Amino acid sequence: MTTFRDNPISPELDAPLYQQLYTHMRMSILSGELKGGRKLPSTRALADELNISRNTILNAYRQLMAEGYLESVEGSGTFVAHVLPDFLLTAPRHTAPKNAQPLWAESRLPLFSEHAKSQMAASQPPSDGKPPRPFLSEVPALDAFPYEIWSRLVVRQARRMPVSTFMYQDSAGYRPLREAIAAHVAVSRQVHCKPEQIMIVPGSQGALDLASRMMLNAGDPVWMEDPGYPGARGAFLGAGADIIPVPIDDEGLVVDIGVARAPGARLVYLTPSHQFPLGVMMSISRRLALLDWAKRANAYILEDDYDSEFRFAERPLASLQGLDDAERVIYIGTFSKVLFPSMRIGYMILPPPLVDSFLKVRRLIDIHTPMLEQAVLADFMIEGHFSRHLRRMRTLYAERRNALLEAAKELPLEIHSPEAGIHCVGWLPNGMNDLSVVGKAAEYDLDLTPVSSFSIHPLARKGLLLGYGGYSVKEIKDGVRRLRALLRSV
């Protein structure tokens, strides 16, 4: 018996194969097509049936298991869970008509927009809220955050905020915070702007979402770093954009290939200071070539400067925004790495002609970012705590980076010493399968992410993202020991 009426996997689609399978199976479970208690075929049998690799099936099964849709019974196999996670039980159930169409086309499911469906397929699983394990990459040093100072500032602001701040506020954000950010980026990132160009947003993700809505029509081509940040790709899918993958080499985004693939692109997304995930810094000649093309093509550049405050090398490189003389760059900064991600505060620095229009649309989304957090952050910056914290973090991250590089000498990985940020990439020896390694990580109390999960086109090499920022030197050394055992076992 076949498991699906039609093969739900298509290499033509943008989403990785495992994600397509995950989404299809999840929807099939929710719709009742795959009923609770049904035994699923073995990963090998399903791989044969769908003509894809077993690892792809394994990854989709693992994700569904982690989210409670599937259960594994030792010695018996994998089953659709009898009891679905609570929050799913409130989702409307539908009974499948006989000989129904493939899942996405069926009216028995909620009628989501095509854009939302493509975003759902690209969406990453949520954080499980548990303390992070090495070497999850997105974690800053939460163990070194000055909680005492922060909570003192929260209490002080909560006590003294005037009643007027309880009204709706300016969509651009709290003025003193914008002034503090303008002063900070001028010094640390050579970004030139007035506070009027700054809009406080709910993290980089808020900036990416707003920029996509503002700049993209359905079908518009957008250059996207490949491999690249899934949050950006997801935002562009929300606008129905045509995502054009542009490869990265050791000088960063290969501008010529972007121009050859989509000379009329509307938007370019990139992380030039510390490419995510590979860590490459874009060369100055590439930066100038990109700015020159954008000027001629009347395109905009989204510069995501998510973690470049932490540079270890001497050489500071001006931001693209600082080099731009034609108002082409929308600069995005975030406090997720420099402070903590649940703060949900980031900022966009807009070319002056865009400001009013962005504000008008922002007023129809979330209106503005909550005031208390903005006011506390402004105090934190104005009173010097932020720059002190950054200085301490630079030293701490350099220590943690060095600990990882030293300990990892015993691993069969190739690691290029990262010049910035809080993660690096460990390239696996040829022939070693990244997904097999990642699949066993939990057994070794590790949290590993394959570089391939960020790529649209398959990469020539397989690698792992190794975050070091969020772990003590001891945790890093112990983690490397466990990683060595894991790599030996595959």
Ligand X SMILES: Cc1ncc(COP(=O)(O)O)c(C=O)c1O
Longest dimension (CA), the chain: 68
The verdict on 455 binding ligand X (CB under 6 A) reads: no
The verdict on 346 binding ligand X (CB under 6 A) reads: yes
The verdict on 304 binding ligand X (CB under 6 A) reads: yes
- Smallest gap, in angstroms, from Cβ of residue 82 to ligand X? 36
- Please count the other Cβ atoms lying within 10 Å of the Cβ belonging to residue 138: 19
Using the minimum distance from each CB to ligand X, give the nearer residue, 42 or 188.
188
Contacting range for ligand X; rule: CB under 6 A; set: 203-211, 213-221, 320-328, 369-377: 203-211
The amino acid present at 401, given as its one-letter code, is: R
The verdict on 157 binding ligand X (CB under 6 A) reads: no
The verdict on 397 binding ligand X (CB under 6 A) reads: no
Q: Which of 422, 381, 333 is nearest to 144 (CA)?
A: 422
Q: Measured between alpha carbons, how far apart are the two ends of the chain, in Å?
A: 32
DSSP-assigned beta bridge partners for residue 425: 465
- Smallest gap, in angstroms, from Cβ of residue 485 to ligand X? 28
The verdict on 36 binding ligand X (CB under 6 A) reads: no
Contacting range for ligand X; rule: CB under 6 A; set: 100-108, 199-207, 212-220, 383-391: 199-207
The amino acid present at 4, given as its one-letter code, is: F
**Residue labelled with tokens 């909680």:** 147
The verdict on 135 binding ligand X (CB under 6 A) reads: no
The verdict on 212 binding ligand X (CB under 6 A) reads: no
> Does residue 50 contact residue 9 with C-beta atoms inside 8 Å?
yes
Query: Token pair for residue 476?
Result: 């890093």
The verdict on 229 binding ligand X (CB under 6 A) reads: yes
Dihedral class, residue 134 (left if φ above 0, else alpha if ψ from -120 to 50, else beta): beta
Using the minimum distance from each CB to ligand X, give the nearer residue, 69 or 276.
276
- Please count the other Cβ atoms lying within 10 Å of the Cβ belonging to residue 247: 17
The amino acid present at 292, given as its one-letter code, is: D
Contacts of 173 (CB under 8 A, 6+ apart): 198, 199, 200, 201, 347, 368, 369, 374
The verdict on 334 binding ligand X (CB under 6 A) reads: yes
The verdict on 22 binding ligand X (CB under 6 A) reads: no
Rounded Cα–Cα distance for residues 208 and 204 (Å) = 6
Contacts of 451 (CB under 8 A, 6+ apart): 227, 277, 278, 425, 434, 459, 461, 462, 463, 464, 465
What is the CB-side half-sphere exposure of residue 107 using CA atoms within 13 A?
1
Using the minimum distance from each CB to ligand X, give the nearer residue, 33 or 209.
209
Rounded Cα–Cα distance for residues 253 and 448 (Å) = 25
- Smallest gap, in angstroms, from Cβ of residue 205 to ligand X? 4
Query: Token pair for residue 316?
Result: 């500071």
Contacts of 348 (CB under 8 A, 6+ apart): 198, 199, 201, 207, 210, 211, 330, 331, 332, 333, 358
The verdict on 309 binding ligand X (CB under 6 A) reads: no
Q: Which of 138, 226, 303, 379 binds ligand X (CB under 6 A)?
A: 138
Contacting range for ligand X; rule: CB under 6 A; set: 190-198, 201-209, 444-452, 461-469: 201-209
The verdict on 203 binding ligand X (CB under 6 A) reads: yes
- Smallest gap, in angstroms, from Cβ of residue 344 to ligand X? 7
The verdict on 306 binding ligand X (CB under 6 A) reads: yes
Contacting range for ligand X; rule: CB under 6 A; set: 3-11, 287-295, 334-342, 405-413: 334-342
Q: Which of 336, 369, 374, 453 binds ligand X (CB under 6 A)?
A: 336
Helix (H) or strand (E) run with residue 31 in it: none
The verdict on 132 binding ligand X (CB under 6 A) reads: no
Q: Which of 197, 205, 273, 455 binds ligand X (CB under 6 A)?
A: 205
The verdict on 225 binding ligand X (CB under 6 A) reads: no
Residue nearest to ligand X (CB): 203
Which string of x and - marks every residue 230-269 that binds ligand X (by CB under 6 A)?
A: -x--------------------------------------
# chain residues binding ligand X, by CB under 6 A: 14
Q: Which of 119, 204, 308, 369 binds ligand X (CB under 6 A)?
A: 204
Using the minimum distance from each CB to ligand X, give the nearer residue, 41 or 132.
132
- Give phi and psi for 191, each to the nearest 5: -95, 130
The verdict on 447 binding ligand X (CB under 6 A) reads: no
Helix (H) or strand (E) run with residue 289 in it: helix 284-297
Q: Which of 381, 355, 389, 343 is nearest to 143 (CA)?
A: 389
What residue ranges bind ligand X (CB under 6 A)? 138, 203-205, 229, 231, 271, 276, 304, 306, 334, 336, 341, 346
